[in-house]
Amino acid sequence: MIRPDIIEELPYSKPFLFVDEILEIDDDHIKGAYTFKNDEYFYEGHFRDHPVTPGVILTECMAQIGMACFGIHLLKDKWNRETIGVAMSSNEMSFYKPVFPGERVIVVSEKVYFRFSKLKCNVSMYNTKNELVAKGVVAGVAFEK
């Protein structure tokens, strides 16, 4: 069951929130989407006259959907934004296609493990043509504030 409040529970806000919707979720995977708006702050200087979404932003989008949203779901009743924080602890990414302003991406994350408040996932990002944009591994941890 998709909790409608997961996105609201994230510790991010615009202009650094890269999750529009959660499409699927269970205890083994999550699938979510984000559309990169034409006026995102990072396009102004990356690259002049031919904007492309920076890899670090694609990684952040994959981590927000594939690790932070997923982690909130997995923590269930233990999650409390006031007392628990989340942080990415490591990532390893490969990039295959550019993402341009206005493009929608789908992120799929599959749990490798979740124990001792640490979540490790295999993540993949696809464009609307179902072409692989990026894939890799993200890991994160939940901690008491």
User: Would residue 50 show up in a list of annotated catalytic residues for this protein?
Assistant: no
Domain ranges, residue 36: 6-144
Residue 45: predicted pLDDT: 87
Considering the domain boundaries, does residue 131 fall inside one? yes
Reading phi first (left if > 0) and then psi (alpha if -120 to 50, else beta), residue 64 is in: alpha
Residue 1: predicted pLDDT: 55
Residue 84: predicted pLDDT: 92
Which pair of tokens denotes residue 35?
């559309």
Number of domains in the chain: 1
Q: Which of 29, 46, 50, 73 is catalytic?
A: 46
What is the distance between the alpha carbons of residues 31 and 52, in angstroms, rounded to a whole number?
23
pLDDT in tens, 9-31: 999 999 999 999 999 999 999 99
Kindly report the CATH number assigned to the domain that includes residue 85.
3.10.129.10
Considering the domain boundaries, does residue 106 fall inside one? yes
Considering the domain boundaries, does residue 104 fall inside one? yes
What is the distance between the alpha carbons of residues 24 and 10, in angstroms, rounded to a whole number?
17
pLDDT in tens, 97-125: 999 999 999 999 999 999 999 999 999 99
Considering the domain boundaries, does residue 91 fall inside one? yes
Considering the domain boundaries, does residue 1 fall inside one? no
Which pair of tokens denotes residue 42?
């990072």
pLDDT in tens, 46-101: 888 899 999 999 999 999 999 999 999 999 888 888 899 899 999 999 999 999 99
* Residues in a beta bridge with 126: 106, 132
Whole-model pTM over 0.85: yes
